[in-house]
Amino acid sequence: MAHNTTTEEPEKLDLRSHHIAEDKLAELLRLFPEIRTEGGKIDFDKLKLVLGETVDVGRERYGMNWPGKADCFKTIQQPSLGTLLPRREESVNFDTTDNLIIEGDNLEVLKLLQKSYLGKVKMIYIDPPYNTGNDFIYPDNYSESLQTYLEYTGQVDDEGRKFSTNSDTDGRFHSKWLNMMYPRLYLARNLLSEDGAIFVSVDDHEVNNLRKLMDEVFGEEAFVSQICVVNNLKGRNDRKHVATAHEYLMFYAMPLFESNGLPLSQKQLAEYKQRTDDGAQFQWRDLRKRGGADTRTARPKLFFPLYANPRTGRVRLKMDEVYSVEIYPRKSDGSDGCWRWGYTKVSQGVDELRASKVDGKDRWNVSYRVYLEQEGEERTSKPKSTWIGPEFSTDAGTKSLATLISNIVSFTPKPVGLVRQIASLVMSEGDLCLDFFAGSGTTAQALLEASIEDGMARHFILVQLPEKIDGGPLASIAEITKERCRRVIARIDSSRSQQLAFGPAPEIDLGFRVFVLSESGLLPWRANTPNRDSVALAQQLELHTDHVRSDRTPEQLLYELLLKSGFPLTDPIETLNLGGKEVFSISDGAMLICLDRDLTHELIKAMGDLHPQRVVCLDEGFAGNDQLKTNAVQTMKARGVTSFRTV
């Protein structure tokens, strides 16, 4: 019998990391369909016409420039050739935790996270190298950045590339730092949610450059504050004329960001010492406005008389025999001031007011009640632009790391209190925080401890280069990150088991999954790797007959497919047995992945019958059986599977 030779092929899964430029192009074409040229490119002259007067066409432009900026865009657009490999043995509670610690170069990792974490991060805190002249600034190479990383970590032969510190004598001192920061901030912005915020620690070396850079990446309108953090009250003897006592925290926020404010201090709480008959706590505050625009001339409508009952202190808007004391908002020098409330608000809230005679004077004041709780929520305070206190000191940072891991020299962690304060301004239940210059993992400690204290879940993704360190018990900074987290969790666990006698402890995510940056395990992907010699090319072509690296475990491939299909690395995965084969069900059946190399009709039908949105199989699983492939495409279509792909 003759076989029908026309086959309907499943599409290939797009294995590239998220392509930023393509997305922006599509968005531009969506907004201005008239600027599309043949081949889907942009007609810039037409775009100028469409935008008319608003286009800046002058030769001199306002903005920041430095040598290498153009290459930053190439760096951003070059897709990552890597993947993230799970390391169960280094993790804590791998299967249940939503926290991640990723070992690798953060540029590659940020690229790999683009699809899965686009717009999902509420808070970013980073503490990048300050560029003091002694810092190691990771050398990005836009055309081979994964290769650079593999050489850096000794995973491939070193070709004599130098990885050294960025010294002041280098003519490109600031440019190198900017070239390192720009692509990372750019990619990080894509991950921030529309109500998210980013905080960057920096000192005098790069504060001006950072602010300009962030203006460019996030927009000037996103600037919130350049907070001054006093980290060494005594002052350091590091400058000729001034002993530096502070550094900065650059704070930018996305358009829908709402600050949580800060919880009130004990002193502020103590001010709410009055109670209503119902027990609500409040304090009295002066109804006369103080500060800017507090005169009758500035706010004439807020100047009107109130009338008080001298016996009870109650207040009304009309005078009668009982409410006989007339009170105007007068300043202490006797001049006319104004109230905080307008006439309507006073008429609705007179019962919240109280008049009292100023001690020893023939003058009356009016006060209004300020409640501790407002609409069921406890009052908060606005953070100041200077943060000062022992919890923000460098000493506090050093001590908290030393109590967990001793003998870590020449490393200055941030104080836990700093990250806790940022998190309390930004994060709510279930929010995700990203720190891609994680260092010793201060961010993880701050979030784990905060979550355990108030029972509110806060999750994190930490990224850290396995930068070698001399001396001490651990070989790289990434080892410190992981070990510190393990010890924080162990400490919390042991104090919880002691407290168990007092009742059940809240269910809190006490764990982290470790992933390590590595080469992709899928060869069509690796085939993009620039080849240095013909032997390597020949080897790759030979390997190409099999699409999947043979040294990769199913779990490693599974996570690569998850990442490249745009699912978060912590989405639930269930292992099913369908038609006698192992199938992974992602996110409660939204996607099915089968890595079996021997696919059957029975299996394909069983997968389709679960009506997933997406299905991914290995191409070699069809073993050249075109009929099986065609059937599979039709089966999936008939079951409403929107995307059936192979790799």
Ligand X SMILES: C[S@@+](CC[C@H](N)C(=O)[O-])C[C@H]1O[C@@H](n2cnc3c(N)ncnc32)[C@H](O)[C@@H]1O
Residues 296-315, interacting with ligand X (CB under 6 A): none
Q: Is 170 in the site for ligand X (CB under 6 A)?
A: no
Q: Report d(CA 54, CA 35) in Å as an integer.
A: 16
**Cβ-contact 331, 289 below 8 angstroms:** no
| Cα atoms in the 13 Å half-sphere on the side-chain side of 349 | 16
Q: Is 247 in the site for ligand X (CB under 6 A)?
A: no
Span near ligand X by CB under 6 A; candidates 206-214, 459-467, 514-522, 586-594: 459-467
Q: Is 82 in the site for ligand X (CB under 6 A)?
A: no
Span near ligand X by CB under 6 A; candidates 152-160, 262-270, 437-445, 617-625: 437-445
Cβ neighbors of 618 (< 8 A, separation 6 or more) are 547, 548, 594, 595, 596, 597, 599, 646, 647
Q: How far is the CB of 402 from ligand X (least distance, A)?
A: 12
Span near ligand X by CB under 6 A; candidates 126-134, 367-375, 564-572, 609-617: 126-134
- State which of residues 82, 196, 439, 521 lies at the interface with ligand X (CB under 6 A): 439
The backbone torsions φ and ψ at residue 616, rounded to the nearest 5 degrees and listed phi first, read -125, 130
Span near ligand X by CB under 6 A; candidates 204-212, 433-441, 572-580, 598-606: 433-441
Q: Report d(CA 159, CA 533) in Å as an integer.
A: 14
Q: How far is the CB of 427 from ligand X (least distance, A)?
A: 17
Cβ neighbors of 67 (< 8 A, separation 6 or more) are 172, 175
Q: How far is the CB of 305 from ligand X (least distance, A)?
A: 58
DSSP label of 55: -
Q: How far is the CB of 420 from ligand X (least distance, A)?
A: 12
**Cβ-contact 567, 586 below 8 angstroms:** yes
What DSSP string describes 434-473? EESS-TTTHHHHHHHHHHHHH---EEEEEEE---B-SSSS
Q: Is 464 in the site for ligand X (CB under 6 A)?
A: yes
Q: Is 463 in the site for ligand X (CB under 6 A)?
A: yes
Q: Report d(CA 552, CA 546) in Å as an integer.
A: 13
Q: Is 129 in the site for ligand X (CB under 6 A)?
A: yes
Span near ligand X by CB under 6 A; candidates 123-131, 273-281, 498-506, 511-519: 123-131
Q: Is 517 in the site for ligand X (CB under 6 A)?
A: no
| Cα atoms in the 13 Å half-sphere on the side-chain side of 304 | 15
Q: Is 420 in the site for ligand X (CB under 6 A)?
A: no
Residues 469-498, interacting with ligand X (CB under 6 A): 477
Q: Report d(CA 504, CA 465) in Å as an integer.
A: 38
Q: How far is the CB of 611 from ligand X (least distance, A)?
A: 41
- State which of residues 10, 20, 138, 186 lies at the interface with ligand X (CB under 6 A): 138
**Cβ-contact 604, 637 below 8 angstroms:** no
Of 385, 390, 397, the closest CA to residue 446 belongs to 397
Q: How far is the CB of 635 from ligand X (least distance, A)?
A: 44
**Nearer CB in complex with ligand X: 364/437:** 437
- Kindly compute the dihedral angle of the four CA atoms of residues 583, 588, 590, 592, in this order, to the nearest 10 degrees: 0
**Nearer CB in complex with ligand X: 165/374:** 165
Q: How far is the CB of 127 from ligand X (least distance, A)?
A: 3
Span near ligand X by CB under 6 A; candidates 347-355, 463-471, 520-528, 549-557: 463-471
**CB neighbours (10 Å) of residue 600?**
16
Tokens (6 digits) for 33:
């369909």
**Nearer CB in complex with ligand X: 186/622:** 186
> What is the torsional sign of CA 619, 624, 625, 631?
positive
Residues 398-417, interacting with ligand X (CB under 6 A): 413-414
Residue linked to tokens 């290498």: 68
DSSP E strand boundaries for 203-301? 223-230, 246-253, 262-263, 274-275, 281-286
**Cβ-contact 188, 434 below 8 angstroms:** yes
Q: Is 451 in the site for ligand X (CB under 6 A)?
A: no
Instruction: Kindly state the number of chain residues that form the binding site for ligand X, as judged by CB under 6 A.
Output: 18
The backbone torsions φ and ψ at residue 260, rounded to the nearest 5 degrees and listed phi first, read -75, -15
Q: Is 437 in the site for ligand X (CB under 6 A)?
A: yes
- State which of residues 14, 203, 467, 582 lies at the interface with ligand X (CB under 6 A): 467
**Nearer CB in complex with ligand X: 421/442:** 442
Binding site for ligand X (CB under 6 A): 105-107, 127-129, 138, 413-414, 437, 439-440, 442, 463-465, 467, 477
